[in-house]
Amino acid sequence: MTSSKLINYTTREFMSDHELEQYIAKQNEIFTPKVVEEFNKAGMLRRVLTKLWNKEGVHRVGILFEYRDEKAFAACQSLLEKHYIPMVKTFITKVVGSRGIVVHEFTSKEFK
């Protein structure tokens, strides 16, 4: 199993719950099996979209991107610009991204 070397965690905050739900509903339209295969070939190991629930009155998602290495991260940026950005540019959001290099990790035997 290949482990992630570089991780990006981005939060995206929406003006309303309706816009947040529209964004969530759009994911399968954006990330078709063909597009996912492009990302996999470029080195993205995993992408997870989470709906944050612990902040009352806030309409926010968290997006976790896990990459094989820095080269994979760079390759996937052009794919995001090609497939993702055009599909979400109509949403008015506050985006905060953080990138890190894995320095410590443990996983359960149940994690696949």
Residue 49, C-beta contacts closer than 8 angstroms, at least 6 positions apart: 24, 27, 61, 62, 63
Number of domains making up the chain: 1
CATH number of the domain enclosing 42: 3.30.70.100
Confirm whether 112 is domain-assigned.
no
10-residue mean pLDDT profile of the chain (112 residues): values are 84 96 96 97 96 92 95 96 95 94 85 76
Confirm whether 20 is domain-assigned.
yes
In the prediction, which pLDDT does 1 show?
54
In the prediction, which pLDDT does 94 show?
95
Domain that holds residue 46: 6-101
Confirm whether 37 is domain-assigned.
yes
Confirm whether 76 is domain-assigned.
yes
pTM of the predicted model, to two decimals? Answer: 0.88
Residue 82, C-beta contacts closer than 8 angstroms, at least 6 positions apart: none
Rounded distance, CA 19 to CA 23, Å? 6
